[in-house]
Amino acid sequence: MKTIVVSNRKGGSAKTTTAVNIASGLAKHGSVLLLDFDTQGHASIGVGCDLDEHLGVHSIFDGKTLSETFIPTVHENLTLSPALVFFDVYDYSDLSGVLKNRFKREKIADFFDYCVIDTPPTFDALLKNSLEVADIVLIPFVPHHLGVVAVGQMMRALYKSASDFNRKIAEVFILPVMFNPHVNEHKDSLEKVKISFGKSKLLSPIGIDIKLAQQFETGTPITLDTKRSKGLKDYSRCVSEILAKLEVKG
Ligand SMILES: Nc1ncnc2c1ncn2[C@@H]1O[C@H](COP(=O)(O)OP(=O)(O)OP(=O)(O)O)[C@@H](O)[C@H]1O
Ligand SMILES: [Mg+2]
């Protein structure tokens, strides 16, 4: 199983949109587990889950197994562990290593080909739990000045966290989102990221498509849509690029 953590401390940078569409896109290639670690629960809504009715992924911090939080979704190959909306990370003194422990004890890797984790716009214990199981960290960013600053901050935080915990850093890729090729600020921001982190770290951009916002109303990710759309095309290409990166990684 390969685990992709979608993360950016900056709010509103399309983490959830990316997590949901990558998860459902990967579900065309194998079995996928989507973990909604953000208590806003937007990824859960994105795959058609009614948030009030279930245990959630955060229940593992109260001694539940991960598997008992699993629920089916709109796609047979896509399993969700939804968010627990009322969970508060600050009620707990030590949450380290819990997800990693559940993965190991429940042999989660035997049941899924891919795991995608949506994370909150914070660098807290939830993100740290996710990083402990990550093969790839994907940082979506809106190509504006503050978006570029946020990518730099994320990169530094990821390297610091890896060295603090003496852990190998997962491979990091950067995904420009809501990109408009006619806006100079967008093109310049992409250049800055390329210069700072290297061309190989940058995935092809996702353009603006209002269908990517509307999909949350129907609970059906655009990558499961049969109608052609820009969002479908862009995220399908993104999934192919991630699969290629995973193949190189072995
Ligand atoms: N490519 C896109 N085109 C149009 N709208 C988009 C696109 N990507 C995301 N959006 C919209 O932008 C908003 C922010 O996206 P999203 O919720 O995925 O960000 P986020 O990083 O998960 O936010 P948060 O930090 O609150 O978790 C949402 O309303 C979403 O529908
Ligand atoms: Mg989100």
Question: Which residue has a Cα nearest atom 8 of ligand 1?
Answer: 14
Distance 141 CA to ligand 2 centre (A): 12
DSSP state of 166: T
Cβ of 121 less than 6 Å from ligand 1: yes
* Structure tokens, 154: 């994320």
Cβ of 214 less than 6 Å from ligand 1: no
Task: Write out the E strands in 40-165.
Answer: 71-72, 78-81, 114-118, 136-141
Q: What is the mean pLDDT of the chain?
A: 94
Whole-model pTM?
0.96
Residue 1 CA to residue 201 CA, distance in Å, equals: 22
Distance of CA 200 to the CA centre of its chain: 19
Question: Quick check: 69 and 75 in contact, CB under 8 A?
Answer: no
70-113 pLDDT per residue, tens: 999 989 999 999 999 999 998 998 898 999 999 999 999 999 99
Distance 168 CA to ligand 2 centre (A): 26
Residue 106 CA to residue 34 CA, distance in Å, equals: 16
Instruction: Classify residue 198 as exposed, middle or buried by CB count within 10 Å of its CB (0-12, 13-18, 19+).
Output: exposed
Determine the average pLDDT of the residues in 104-131. Answer: 95
Distance 11 CA to ligand 2 centre (A): 7
Counting ligand 1 atoms within 8 A of each CB, the residue from 16, 204, 208 with the most, and so the one to mutate, is 16
- Smallest Cα–Cα separation from 137: which of 160, 108, 171? 171
In this predicted structure, the answer to whether residue 211 has a pLDDT above a threshold of 80 is yes
Strand partners, 79: 33, 72
Helix 211-218 / helix 15-26 crossing angle, nearest 10 deg: 70
Determine the average pLDDT of the residues in 135-164. Answer: 93
Q: Which domains does the chain have, with CATH numbers?
A: 2-249 (3.40.50.300)
Helix (H) or strand (E) holding 106: none
- Residues 6 or more apart whose CB falls under 8 angstroms from that of 247 comprise none
pLDDT of residue 166: 64
Determine the average pLDDT of the residues in 161-183. Answer: 87
Greater model confidence, 94 or 177: 177
